[in-house]
Amino acid sequence: MISLTSEMTDRKGRRARGWLFFDAECKFCSRIAAWLETPLLRRGMALCPLQDPRVGVLLGLSRGELRRAIRFASADGIRYCGADALLAVARELWWARLLVYASNLPLMLPIMRAGYQWVAQRRRCRAPHCLVDRVAGNGLQNY
């Protein structure tokens, strides 16, 4: 498998501490990514659209699987999907750590995952070849 840290660099050619992969054809996902971009860049992390041809190869996922959920990959190779990806990002942002603390309460992590899945299954993208509608009913797989 190709290493994210050796193959993926930010816009200035630097290796990032982590990567947030988002669906650039989804307005909702793009807004979240735009909102998180500056705080993540300050912390040495980067964003990349799931549509980048390198992402599927780097993560070992098909295009349909990629677009099911937001994904985060740390520089040490740990990968997160869906609500777990958002929690991984929240660990990096002091103002979002309340989500991390809340996820440690009994039953909160399953509730967060179910909430993320509910939102992800109801989002729509603007691309005419959108696979989201076809894969949304299959549920999310965390790895």
Mapping DSSP onto H, E and C, the string for 76-139 reads CCCEEECHHHHHHHHCCCHHHHHHHHHHCCCCHHHHHHHHHHHHHHHCCCCCCCCCHHHHHHHC
> Does residue 25 belong to any structural domain of this protein?
yes
> Does residue 27 belong to any structural domain of this protein?
yes
Question: In Å, how far are 13, 35, 99, 102, 105 from 55, measured between CA atoms?
Answer: 17, 21, 27, 31, 33
> Does residue 138 belong to any structural domain of this protein?
no
Report the number of distinct structural domains present in the chain.
1
Q: Going residue by residue through the chain, which has 143 residues, state the pLDDT in tens, using 9 for 90 and above.
A: 334 444 555 455 557 889 999 999 888 889 989 999 999 999 999 999 998 988 988 888 888 788 888 999 998 889 999 999 999 999 999 999 999 999 999 999 999 999 999 988 887 655 554 544 444 444 444 33
> Does residue 22 belong to any structural domain of this protein?
yes
Distance separating alpha carbons of residues 57 and 22, to the nearest angstrom: 15
pLDDT at 122: 81
Q: What CATH number is associated with residue 15?
A: 3.40.30
> Does residue 103 belong to any structural domain of this protein?
yes
pLDDT at 75: 87
Distance separating alpha carbons of residues 132 and 112, to the nearest angstrom: 20
pLDDT at 8: 53
> Does residue 135 belong to any structural domain of this protein?
no
pLDDT at 76: 86
15: containing domain: 4-130
Return the structure tokens found at 36: 């998180």
pLDDT at 67: 81
> Does residue 141 belong to any structural domain of this protein?
no
> Does residue 84 belong to any structural domain of this protein?
yes
| Residue 94 CB coordination number (10 Å) | 9
